[in-house]
Structures are given as C-alpha cells and as structure tokens.
Amino acid sequence: MPRTMRTLALLTLPLLAAPALAASQPAPRPVPAPHFDVAQLWVPPPLPAPPPDTDTYAPQPEEAEEAPPTRSAREQVAEAGEAFVFALAAEVFLPPDSEVVPAAGAGAVQARPATFSGRPGPVIARRAVKLVGVRNLRRVVRHVPDDCSGLVRASYESAGIDLVGGGFRPGENAVTAIWRLARRQGALHRHTPHPGDLVFFRETYDRNRDGRRNDGLTHIGVVESVDPDGTVTFIHRASKGVTRSKLNPRQPRTFRTPRGETLNDYLRPASKRLRAYLTGELFVGYAAADRLR
C-alpha cells in the first residue's frame, strides 16, 4: 500500500469507531432544577394592633328611634343580677396578685393633695364636671391615658386617691384593675349611688375581636347626680371627648319615656352581628367613693 493511503487509513479509523464508543457509554444523569418552597418564601402579614383597653364609643341617640322590646320587671332584675355576678365571677380566671405589675403613670401625680379630709365624692364629681367638653385628656392631665380610665383617675386624684396604685395583672385593662381595688376595699354596691361614685360597664366594645359579648369589664365613669326616678347622670370619656350620659338600672332596656325623657343612652353602637346596646343593658355596678380612700 502506498505510504499516503496508509496514513489516510490511520486518520479515519478513530472517526469510524467514535459512534460505537459513544453508544457503549451510559447516558449522563439529568441535573435537577433548583427547588424553591413557596411556603418558605411567603412572609405572613403583621398581626393587627391590639384593641384599646377601654371603650371609646359615645352614646348614639340617632340609632334610638327603634326602641328595644319591653321586658317584664322580673326579667329586668334577673338580667341585672346576671351582669353583676358575671363581673365577680370573671376574677376567678385572672392571675394571682403576686403577678401584679406597676401601672403606667402611677405614683407620678404631683398636683394632688397629700391628704384629704371630708367626703371625697363631691370633690371628685366637681372635678369630672370641669373636664366635660375636653376632647383630649392628655392636654389637661398628661400622666393619664386619654380614655375612660384616664378620666376617672384624673377626677379621683383631686381627692388624693390613686385608683391604679395597686398595679395591673398581666393582660388586664385599667377598668378591671380599678374594679379589683374597689372590691378589695369593700366599695362595690348596686344601691342608689352618690356624686363621685364610680360606675362600671361591661362589653361596651369587642375587645378581643371575636364578634361576641364576652369581653368583661371595659368602661367606667363618674356619677354626677341622680334624679328622683333613679336616672343617673354620669361623666365619662367617649369617642368625642368627655361627655355626660344617662343610666337607669330600673329600666335598663328603655331609651326614652313617652314624654321624651332619656333614661338610658346608647353606649355600644350596632355592628354587623349585634344590635346597639343601652347603658342600662351593659351596667355592672357602682363603687362608693367614700370607701376608696
């Protein structure tokens, strides 16, 4: 064979053998694509801000054209008694007093008198009356919150009484802390109140946001006066500021009399699930100012 032909055969031999060698080699494994877990990439939205500790709803007489149905005297007394027992029983589920923490702003009072002689009720009531019309309590008394508890604290400090000096239990609002103080000092009652007495209400707003009436004590005010028919005028911090409202525990489901006299103002406005509620329906009890010294 000529030398040139022999060289050409040597060069083409590997090219002819390449397909056979490639067929005998195992197929390469596919490289898996990167895996992303969508659940790991999703960040949940922040939780909504917790509801305020106290109620900020004002009476809404415009909702009162449709009066609630009348009930017998026995039913009214039973409902009032149930409300009072409810508030007392609620304390069973609260943490012990050993877990009480100091209240914010407690002990920071500088303008109140160190001692006070005489009945504190009239002094407290006059202080509350002077605050009627104030839209922001912080502009008048800076160390108290701008809510219903701040109004009663500012009023009682005029008589040298610190309503939250005993501190708070974990998760407890100011209204419940004041209720515990009143109960410990034997001040709670359901008789005819006197000017300066505290008045407590329950479930005036959906504090835990579950759409039910299971929120416990949520609102508080100061008694200003009592009419001969038992209608109580009290002062409290509502949505538009410090204002007056009416309460008549003897007729808790009556908004107005046939003569147009208001017996109970609306305290909890209507929602998608619940109707509006009157002060008499949400009333729990009083605390005597004379015993809170």
Strand 198-202: give its sheet, edge to edge: 188-189, 283-287, 198-202, 217-226, 232-238, 241-247
- Residue 40 is predicted with a pLDDT of 36
Q: Is 179 exposed, middle or buried (0-12, 13-18, 19+ CB in 10 A)?
A: buried
- Residue 160 is predicted with a pLDDT of 94
Does residue 175 sit in helix, strand or coil?
A: helix
Q: CB count, 10 Å around CB of 252?
A: 24
- Residue 184 is predicted with a pLDDT of 94
Q: What are phi and psi of 134, to 5 degrees?
A: -70, 130
- Residue 113 is predicted with a pLDDT of 46
**Lookup: tokens for 229:** 């028919």
Q: CA 22, 27, 30: angle at the middle one, nearest 5? A: 140
Q: CB count, 10 Å around CB of 126?
A: 15
Does residue 257 sit in helix, strand or coil?
A: coil
Please identify which residue in the block is written with the tokens 């002094």.
123
Q: CB count, 10 Å around CB of 270?
A: 12
- Residue 1 is predicted with a pLDDT of 55
- What is the residue-level pLDDT of the chain in tens, covering all 293 positions? 565 566 555 555 555 555 555 555 565 565 454 443 333 333 334 433 434 444 433 333 333 333 444 555 555 555 555 554 444 444 433 434 434 445 554 444 434 444 456 789 999 999 999 999 999 999 999 899 999 999 999 999 999 999 998 888 988 999 999 999 999 999 999 999 999 999 999 999 888 777 777 789 999 999 999 999 999 999 999 989 999 999 999 999 999 999 999 999 999 998 888 899 999 999 999 999 999 97
Which helix H or strand E contains 153, and what residues bound it?
Answer: helix 148-157
Dist CA 99 CA 102 (whole Å):
10
Does residue 189 sit in helix, strand or coil?
A: strand
- Residue 129 is predicted with a pLDDT of 97
What separation in angstroms does the CA of 285 have from each of 51, 103, 198?
A: 24, 23, 8
Predicted TM-score (pTM) of the model is 0.65
